[in-house]
Amino acid sequence: MESYLNENFGDVKAKNSSEEALQRWRKLCWVVKNPKRRFRFTANLSKRFEARAIRRSNQEKFRLAVLVSQAALQFIHGLSSDYTPPKEVTAAAFQICADELGSIVEGHDFKKLKIHGGVQSIAGKLSTSITNGISTADDALNRRKEIYGINKFTETKVPGFWVFVWEALHDMTLMILAVCAFVSLLVGIIMEGWPKGAHDGLGIVASILLVVFVTATSDYRQSLQFKDLDTEKKKITVQVTRDGQRQKISIYDLVPGDFVHLAIGDQVPADGLFISGFSLLINESSLTGESEPVHVNAENPFLLSGTKVQDGSCKMLVTTVGMRTQWGKLMATLSEGGDDETPLQVKLNGVATIIGKLGLFFAAVTFAVLVQGLFGRKLLEGSHWSWSGDEALEILEFFAVAVTIVVVAVPEGLPLAVTLSLAFAMKKMMHDKALVRHLAACETMGSATTICSDKTGTLTTNHMTLVKACICGKIKEVSSTEETSSFCSEIPDFAVRILLQSIFNNTGGEIVRNIDDKIEILGTPTEAALLEFGLLLGGDFQAEQQASKIVKVEPFNSAKKQMGVVLEIPGVGFRAHSKGASEIVLAACDKFIDSNGDVVALDEASINHLKDTIDNFASDALRTLCLAYMELGSEFSAESPLPSKGYTCIAIVGIKDPVRPGVKESVAIFKSAGISVRMVTGDNINTAKAIAKECGILTDEGIAIEGPVFREKSEEELQELIPKIQVMARSSPMDKHILVKHLRTGLEEVVAVTGDGTNDAPALHEADIGLAMGIAGTEVAKESADVIIMDDNFSTILTVAKWGRSIYVNIQKFVQFQLTVNIVALIVNFSSACLTGNAPLTAVQLLWVNMIMDTLGALALATEPPNDDLMKRSPVGRKGNFISNVMWRNIIGQSLYQFVIIWFLQTRGKAFFHLDGEDSDLILNTLVFNSFVFCQVFNEINSREMEKINVFKGILRNHVFVAVITCTVIFQIIIIQFLGTFANTYPLTMQQWIGSILLGFLGMPIAAALKMIPVE
């Protein structure tokens, strides 16, 4: 079966599956009782095609708009505006309407922009201050929302409960049974009158309604869970200036007129216009499909919602929001496209198809045998030409039994159990600070064999403090205000001035006053540590920034490992500042500031002293940075690149970032679970090794390597080297990507990768499971990831791995349980029909059994929470069989036992239970039905553990399981004792109850004995 599944249903991967693969498995699944339900949680391929068409249309539209605008620019001179804003707009104190704003940005209309007086004039027309942003007082926000709309997209609403009831009624087999029930009611009432003749028909109707309502309730709850997760995924915050203060708000609270601050990795939250910024590169592929990034500046100021900041930073004026943007229209279509189906869902659809085909065959043969038996009897009696209503009802009952065999045989619940288990796990994982973006990531994480983790913020706390500095050749600890001020008094004034200029201007952070009028440092933890040090030195952020003009900015990126800025200083000229990885920036220096404050050449002794300082800082597990500057004279063009050599070293600083509590223990658990942990970081190799040893990642057998050395290795060397690599320092995003690719393709590992930066996107995309950081991560990284670690904590990754394994094992348990019921129900009804001429289990009884094994079974087994024992097993890996030999052993053993029990009751049951009299056949059939149900109840308990004999461990902690078992037993008692006329049962005596329960219970010691049989 496994080879058949891999061949026909194995094309669908955990991520990035081709459309052909998604189409192919759908075509193979032709035995489907209810397509609406079976394919509810799969990708809507037609909606995806629509989204691609919208992207292509956008690409052409924007390209045409740019060409038209460029042509129009030549004729702008002398044009005047004939635009008059509508009365309701002017009454609200604005001078431009939403449609006009939308046409400017979406149409890239330079002509209209020029006519309206440019970006600053449009800000004025939106009643926005260029320095203070919008006012939030006196219903001003409400007025804006009324005129310009809100920044929300049309979303597909969760269908109501009755929609799920309606969809559950679309089950083909249930519809056929409903027709049978109607005919049975009609014929029964004609033959035997009301109410006696209606019992059989009403029994089937009641069973159908019960199945429909239980199914609909389960599906409705799942859809609500997915809706909660979708809401959580869309929580994105942005930095805005309002009432003169910087603050974080949700993107859904943005209104036209807002000033938004964007940095590398951010998503543009609405349509808008560029106000100011540096080196801004925008990736518009999500909107247009065009992969080439666009330069946005004062000459091309148009920013479109949904696009990503690939490089640089800027301040933008929001002009158009929500469904007025192209992104809003695209999102409405994309949201209907759905998630890709997971490999397990597809495989189990394959299993359902195989068993469904067998079920159809057995159902057809059973019906033929039962009808042939009746014909044979009629022939012997010589009454084959005369038929009574009772005999017509008998044929109808045979047909209902055949249809019900299909109901039981087609395990529609198998693929849906995956969705149920994933929905349950995703909800629980959200409470454990892990937000799952793609369903498949949950189950893939259960097979993970290796984790490539970042250091900063994942293994460490990301609460950085500058604790050591080497300035003018002097090294000192600077962790408090007193130490800093004493250190400051020992340093020449020139060195302090140039250091403060470097810290406050060459930064991606900011020091602002928040809503409470308190000083707040914004930016990455590294930037915050440096800015805090600048304040401790007595610096003034605003004064330093106003003392010079920034001419050019080169933002930090992982490839260069440095950032730079060029300042124009009155009376001095142009000066470049550089900051970044110590050894890289130091290599670009040929001078340094000595203890007298003089700039002197770097000699060999000084270079060695500075290199030793870097190594000493790094060995103390400190992150080291070097700050340098260079005089550029009186001429510099903003188009020119920053110099690569000739800098003067200002300082080397050591920043402490402690290891997170619990990381060492988590690493140890991963290792015991057969999952290897590798650290991939951009930091100095000595810092990386010190942290890796503290975490328990770097062992005596492992290798620590630097990115530049790794890059130089040949394919053969990499193949030999990669299994031993435990730490990679000074790595570029491409190094991470190569490492992940080799681990996946060369060593066939299932790889999980953590990332937070925009440049991590390729590795997150390449990995089997991409884990983005929720706090430090950029929007680009989060969008490329499968799971977002909301607290940036390495221990949360362990939680994700536990849940991943739990899902995989839970689905295996449910498959084992359901296949056992399928096999026994098929064989019992088929063999009985062939050998005795009647089916022991009626349509109503089989519908109840179907509900026990389908919806209730999935609820009980697919929602088992994870336990610590899961992390003591070896990982499944890439090539593990889903339906394992252990499962086949349990399925075959239990099926044989149950079949023997049912066959024994059918052949020897009357003698065994001393049955005689006219109701003996009905009592015997009731005993067969009761014993069969209790076999399933105890088999459900057995299925909690596939290999361990103790199946009761932790059973009371799983409230869902206990509730399902209890409800099943109570309802079984009601069916037998009180609903006999509808369910074709007869009330049993206490002795008969004990006997049938004991026969079911015997399955438990049988299961324990089976688990002692070794399998490979």
**Gap between the Cα atoms of 508 and 339, Å rounded:** 36
Amino acid in the structure at residue 342: T
Query: Which token pair is 69?
Result: 């605008």
Helix (H, G, I), strand (E, B) or coil at 136: coil
Is the peptide bond preceding residue 195 cis, with omega within 30 degrees of 0? yes
Strand 703-706 and strand 725-729: pairing? Answer: parallel
DSSP code for 838 = S
Amino acid in the structure at residue 106: E
Inter-axis angle of helices 199-233 and 172-192, to 10 degrees? 160
Kindly tell me the burial class for residue 926, based on how many C-beta atoms sit within 10 Å of its own C-beta (0-12, 13-18, 19 or more). Answer: buried
**Gap between the Cα atoms of 483 and 262, Å rounded:** 36
Backbone angles phi, psi at 450, to 5 degrees: -150, 145
How many C-beta atoms surround the C-beta of residue 572 within 10 A?
Answer: 13
Kindly tell me the burial class for residue 33, based on how many C-beta atoms sit within 10 Å of its own C-beta (0-12, 13-18, 19 or more). Answer: buried
Query: Which token pair is 959?
Result: 């409230």
How many C-beta atoms surround the C-beta of residue 565 within 10 A?
Answer: 24
Sign of CA dihedral 907, 913, 915, 920: negative
Distances (CA, A) of 258 to 122, 126, 381: 12, 9, 91
Which of 311, 454, 683, 854 is labelled catalytic? 454
Beta bridge partners of 1013: none
Strand 450-453 and strand 676-680: pairing? Answer: parallel
Beta bridge partners of 511: 521
**Gap between the Cα atoms of 74 and 83, Å rounded:** 21
Is 228 a residue of the active site? no
Longest dimension (CA), the chain: 125
Scan for tokens 């049951």, then name that residue: 909
**Gap between the Cα atoms of 862 and 865, Å rounded:** 9
Which among 31, 12, 8 is positioned nearest to 22, based on CA atoms?
12
Amino acid in the structure at residue 87: K
DSSP 282-323: EE-HHHH---S-EE-SSSS-EE-TT-EEEEEEEEEEEEE-GG
Query: Which token pair is 27?
Result: 């075509």
Which among 728, 776, 766, 721 is positioned nearest to 745, based on CA atoms?
766
DSSP code for 197 = G
Are 624 and 681 in contact by the 8 Å Cβ rule? The answer is no
What residues are annotated to the active site? 454
